[in-house]
A and B are shown apart, each in its own frame.
Chain A
Amino acid sequence: MLGKVLAVRTVRLIATLFAVSLLTFLLVEQLPGDPILAILPPGGLDDLETIERIRKELRLDDPVLTRYFRWAGDALQGDLGKSYITDQPVSDAIKDRIPVTMELALLATLIAAFLAIPIGAISAYREGGYFDRTMSAFTTAALSIPGFLAGIFFIWLFTLKFNWLPSTGWNRITDKGLLANLQTAILPAGALALAPLAINARLIRADMIGTLKEDYILSAKAKGLRDRYILMRHALRPSSLTAITVFALQLGGLIGGTVVIETVFALPGLGTRLISGIYQRDVVMIQGITLFIATVYVVVNALVDLLYAALDPRIRRQ
């Protein structure tokens, strides 16, 4: 039974990855401008012979599907190609940049989770009360402000006004230690966390309001258990299933979301590399990084499914 579920999910995962990679490849192909132009040295535009030679070397004249399968086949073996411009292998660029992006995404998830759960739970417990109304205003604001604006606001508040934290740049844990690292990570992660924090606080609140109306909450009350215990033990657990799913789903999205935030804070992450690739028409780099981000997203979502099944005893049994 479980084996069959796993098989079905694996097939679905592979099909999704195929579609995603094809789309990535074709879309980037469609970017305006000939990649050759980006490679040529200044003034090389008239040198038709060189252009022709590069075309041949890169086999750019093959049919598009042929080139896709060649690219995808290499990618399966971990080879995402080399930048035409810097000659850097894409996989090296990813390896170099991913720690920053991952740390931002994870830190943002942690911040969102640590704040969203109590905010959602207390809002639900005191539905319509002062706290609930304040938080509802906060989440509305957090959702209507784009992440980069929040980032700029954070920089203004915490560096220009209070001068507590550095505004841009990145301290690697390996170089400067955890504390210095966190000083550079906390603002971008905070800006990144706002939207998922607001969404999750709302979801948990809605879910908890439903859970608190369940008979088993009333029967827990009739046993003389204290409200806080009931909230933690009986209400949060069923609701946390929803929360965990959403958090994990958002982790995939956050890796994409860091692109903008990294640019605002000038961080050496995957996002800034992708943006510079776009400016340079570095097709191979764009394709490689996009495929990587998309794959992470799809795989994380597949894992969430399994995690959900593992957490809920009712699902586990089916």
Chain B
Amino acid sequence: MNEATTTARDEPLLSVQDLRTHFSINAGLLKAVDGVTFDLQAGQTLGIVGESGSGKTVLSRSIMRLNLGNNVETSGKALFGGKDLLRLPMGQMTDIWGQEIAMVFQDPMTSLNPVVKIGRQVSEHVRKHLAVSKREARGLAVELLKSVRIPEAEVAIDSFPHELSGGMRQRVSIAIALACGPKLLFADEPTTALDVTVQHQILNLLGLQQSERDMAMVLVTHDLGVVAGRTDEIIVMYAGKIVEQSRTRQIFQNTSHPYTEALLRSIPKTDQPSHTRLAAIAGRPPNLITMPSGCSFSPRCPYAQERCFEEEPPLTVTKEGHATACWYQVGTEANRAAWDKNLAAGRPATLAVAEGQVIDEVPLDIGAGGA
């Protein structure tokens, strides 16, 4: 899905530059997104990964100008086809929404209007953007529902959302997003609210539609397992900032940020018994209003050294284009030294990881015998 777009290399479809979104709330200034920069080429897929609260949703909504409320301040640039979305008059945004850029929301229970029939919800914006007649819109709605594999589409268009299952509802949301043939699709945790068995079907559907339509996609998730093998590039976010960014394969094979490494440890493995406890990341994400000085991951990082608590590491890029913001990147000699030092000192964040690894390495039958 990436060879065909080499011609567009120099002119990205979406170019986000130093995007910052801050909310003024009673407790202070909440920096939900704080200086994010990335490019997305036409037809490519970008994964945005991070724990809940790391700013993924705010980032996507900022680019789409969909943050509600009057306590929000967004700065930076989001160039889409050369135009800065953040400075576009609202009248022009309504032409871009749905037609050029579309979004699939996390929870299909709440993102569909409960008292409006499916058919109208799938086709109302098509009627507006493409000026088709009511009858044509109905035919189009049926076609769209068929294309997202909704059985008995002719019946489904006359039903209400609550009459469909969660998976079917998310298919409807996808049909809505695809209806006007957008060039860019944001999918914000599109499977988080769904059953595990349905998750794969929905992700496969998204991938299929994305490559069929040569549409660019931003796939937002808290689960690195979801983006594995489904994206061209991955951004790992922590506390509103990018901490690692690279081609998908590089992220998995040459993981260099300790936070990414921790996220990888917490992916459920299919060969594990389902009750196996995942190695969760020790500690909690930082408070976005009173951020720790130095590296924002330092309170939870098993490798953290004195420098980490004082100086914030810059995002540095290798010549292969692999960007990381860390003083002691995973896989380096300095990282191993930091680990040994912390282990010897009995640093809790380090011990937690060490013990997690020991448990992982105990063969299953011994573990069962001991219990």
Query: Real complex partners, A and B?
Result: yes
Task: Kindly state whether residue B115 has any CB partner on chain A within 8 Å.
Answer: yes
0 or 1 for each of A197-235: is its CB under 8 Å from B? (1 = yes): 000000000000000011110111111111001000110
Q: How distant is the Cα of A226 from the Cα of B112 in the complex, in angstroms? A: 17
Q: Chain B residues near A238: list those with CB within 8 A.
A: 113-115
Asked if A234 and B113 sit within 8 Å, CB to CB, the answer is yes
Contact with B94, one of A218, A226, A233 (Cβ below 8 angstroms)? A226
Asked if B66 and A221 sit within 8 Å, CB to CB, the answer is yes
Task: Kindly state whether residue A313 has any CB partner on chain B within 8 Å.
Answer: yes
Chain A residue with the shortest CB-CB distance to B113: A216
Contact with B113, one of A213, A220, A241, A312 (Cβ below 8 angstroms)? A220
Task: Kindly state whether residue A161 has any CB partner on chain B within 8 Å.
Answer: no
Contact A312/B103 with A223-B97, A223-B125 known, Cβ cut-off 8 Å: no
0 or 1 for each of A105-143: is its CB under 8 Å from B? (1 = yes): 000000000000000000000000000000000000000
Contact A223/B105 with A237-B116, A313-B115, A317-B162 known, Cβ cut-off 8 Å: no
Asked if B95 and A224 sit within 8 Å, CB to CB, the answer is yes
Task: Kindly state whether residue B176 has any CB partner on chain A within 8 Å.
Answer: yes
Chain B residue with the shortest CB-CB distance to A312: B115
Contact with A314, one of B96, B102, B114 (Cβ below 8 angstroms)? B114
Looking at the assembled complex, report how far the CB atom of B133 sits from the nearest CB atom of chain A, in whole angstroms: 17
Q: How distant is the Cα of A313 from the Cα of B112 in the complex, in angstroms? A: 14
Contact A234/B116 with A224-B128, A226-B94 known, Cβ cut-off 8 Å: yes
Category for how many chain B residues contact A: 20 to 34
Q: How distant is the Cα of A226 from the Cα of B102 in the complex, in angstroms? A: 15
Chain A residue with the shortest CB-CB distance to B160: A313
Q: Chain B residues near A241: list those with CB within 8 A.
A: 115
0 or 1 for each of B47-88: is its CB under 8 Å from A? (1 = yes): 000000000000000001010100000000000000000000
Task: Kindly state whether residue B45 has any CB partner on chain A within 8 Å.
Answer: no
Per the CB 8 Å criterion, the residue count for chain A at the interface is 23
Q: How distant is the Cα of A222 from the Cα of B95 in the complex, in angstroms? A: 10
Asked if B105 and A224 sit within 8 Å, CB to CB, the answer is no
Task: Kindly state whether residue B124 has any CB partner on chain A within 8 Å.
Answer: yes
Q: How distant is the Cα of A214 from the Cα of B112 in the complex, in angstroms? A: 10
Q: How distant is the Cα of A241 from the Cα of B68 in the complex, in angstroms? A: 25
Contact with B105, one of A219, A229, A233, A234 (Cβ below 8 angstroms)? A219
Asked if B125 and A314 sit within 8 Å, CB to CB, the answer is no
Asked if B98 and A223 sit within 8 Å, CB to CB, the answer is yes
Task: Kindly state whether residue B270 has any CB partner on chain A within 8 Å.
Answer: no
Asked if A224 and B125 sit within 8 Å, CB to CB, the answer is yes
Task: Kindly state whether residue B336 has any CB partner on chain A within 8 Å.
Answer: no
Q: How distant is the Cα of A48 from the Cα of B112 in the complex, in angstroms? A: 78
Contact A215/B107 with A222-B66, A314-B114 known, Cβ cut-off 8 Å: yes
Contact A223/B176 with A216-B111, A238-B115 known, Cβ cut-off 8 Å: yes
Q: How distant is the Cα of A283 from the Cα of B38 in the complex, in angstroms? A: 84
Q: Chain B residues near A223: list those with CB within 8 A.
A: 97-98, 102, 124-125, 176
Task: Kindly state whether residue B272 has any CB partner on chain A within 8 Å.
Answer: no
Task: Kindly state whether residue B213 has any CB partner on chain A within 8 Å.
Answer: no
Task: Kindly state whether residue B191 has any CB partner on chain A within 8 Å.
Answer: no
A-B contact pairs, 14 of them (CB 8 A): A216-B114, A222-B103, A224-B94, A233-B116, A234-B116, A237-B113, A237-B116, A238-B114, A238-B115, A313-B114, A313-B160, A314-B114, A314-B162, A317-B162
Further contacts, 12 of them, CB under 8 A, given A222-B98, A314-B115, A317-B162:
A215-B110, A218-B105, A218-B111, A223-B98, A224-B94, A224-B129, A233-B124, A237-B115, A238-B114, A241-B115, A313-B115, A314-B160
State the A residues within 8 Å of B (CB).
Answer: 213-216, 218-226, 229, 233-234, 237-238, 241, 312-314, 317
The 10 closest A-B pairs by CB, nearest first: A224-B98, A224-B97, A223-B125, A215-B110, A223-B98, A216-B113, A219-B111, A215-B111, A222-B103, A313-B160
